[in-house]
Amino acid sequence: MAVRNIARWAGVAAWLALAGAPVDGIAASASASASASSSSATAAAAAPSIVVLGDSLSAEYGLDRDTGWVALMRKRLAQTELNYNVVNASISGETTEGGKTRLPAILARVHPAIVMVELGANDALRGIPLTLSTSNLAAIITASQAAGAKVVMIGMRIPPNYGPDYSEKFFHAFGQLAGQYHTAYVPFLLDGLVDDPSLFQSDQIHPTSAAQPKLLDNIWPVVRPLLKNAPPHAAS
């Protein structure tokens, strides 16, 4: 990825950190439709769950509902023999501290088989020390693993105007955490997108609906092997 494209994509950094967006929260994602049959609701309750703990890049910021990559993953799973619930616990503007704070209640409610962590960009954009961010992410990983969940770390890049040394340390921190705690790892959520401005909304930060299948394709090869042998945790 060309440096100029990283800078272009993240050129309105403060705006990303403060942007508000509808939350595809736990209740909306985990609850069965009121019109669902009792047999369908029972099947859904028995299926293992995947939790996505992320920020605006996973919370459908600026998109029509159910068009983001998390919703597309839910639909892809429904088209296969894999029976999983997908709980999108992402909030626009979320930080690692916020995710760490919210996680215990999510784990207690959902008992997920897999936790996908897409956090960290807003920490950098707000000037939060990298040591604190990595500490928060480590806490998220260990809490998820202690609850019996497999973890997927989803990495991010920040523009080089934050300093090349810091930018590289930030990028490599995700892989280092994944290696240290033996998690699955997606190096860069937006891989393959930043060279094409047409795949971003007018803010040139958040991907369009047309880009969401590519985001899922970046993640799917890492997630799919975990699903094959994931333990059947029942949601309570």
Q: DSSP characters for 65-123?
A: TT-SHHHHHHHHHHTSS---EEEE-B-TT--HHHHHHHHHHHHHHH--SEEEEE--HHH
Tokens 């619930």 sit on residue: 85
73-113 pLDDT, tens per residue? Answer: 999 999 988 889 999 999 999 999 999 999 999 999 999 99
Fold of 3-31+40-228: Rossmann fold (3.40.50)
- Extract long-range pairs of 208-211: CB within 8 Å, 24+ residues apart: 208/63, 209/63, 209/64, 209/67, 209/68
What pLDDT is stored for residue 161 in this prediction? 79
Cβ atoms of 21 and 211 closer than 8 Å: no
Residue 12 has pLDDT above 60, yes or no: no
Residue 170 has pLDDT above 90, yes or no: yes
185-205 pLDDT, tens per residue? Answer: 999 999 999 889 999 999 888
Burial of 146 (0-12, 13-18, 19+ CB in 10 A): exposed
What pLDDT is stored for residue 51 in this prediction? 98
Residue 28 has pLDDT above 90, yes or no: no
- Contact partners, residue 74, CB within 8 Å, separation at least 6: 86
| Domain layout of the chain by residue ranges | 3-31+40-228
Residue 37 has pLDDT above 50, yes or no: no
Could you give the CA distance from residue 123 to residue 224 in angstroms, rounded to a whole number? Answer: 29
Q: Residue 50: which H helix or E strand, with range?
A: strand 49-54
The one-character DSSP state at 32 is P
Q: And the tokens for 17?
A: 């950190």
* Residue positions annotated with a catalytic role: 56, 203, 206
Residue 42 has pLDDT above 80, yes or no: no
Tokens 């080089």 sit on residue: 160
pTM, entire model: 0.82
What pLDDT is stored for residue 192 in this prediction? 95
Could you give the CA distance from residue 189 to residue 217 in angstroms, rounded to a whole number? Answer: 10
The pLDDT confidence band at residue 23, using thresholds 50, 70 and 90, is very low
Q: How far is the CA of 39 from the CAs of 76, 82, 137, in angstroms?
A: 21, 18, 38
What pLDDT is stored for residue 185 in this prediction? 98
103-161 pLDDT, tens per residue? Answer: 999 999 999 999 999 999 999 999 999 999 999 999 999 999 999 999 999 999 987 87
What pLDDT is stored for residue 31 in this prediction? 34
Residue 35 has pLDDT above 50, yes or no: no
Could you give the CA distance from residue 60 to residue 122 in angstroms, rounded to a whole number? Answer: 16
Q: List, in sequence order, every residue forming a beta bridge with 114; answer none if it has no partner.
A: 50, 150
Q: Residue 185: which H helix or E strand, with range?
A: strand 184-186
What pLDDT is stored for residue 5 in this prediction? 55
Which one has a higher pLDDT value, 170 or 32? 170
Cβ atoms of 141 and 181 closer than 8 Å: yes
What pLDDT is stored for residue 180 in this prediction? 98
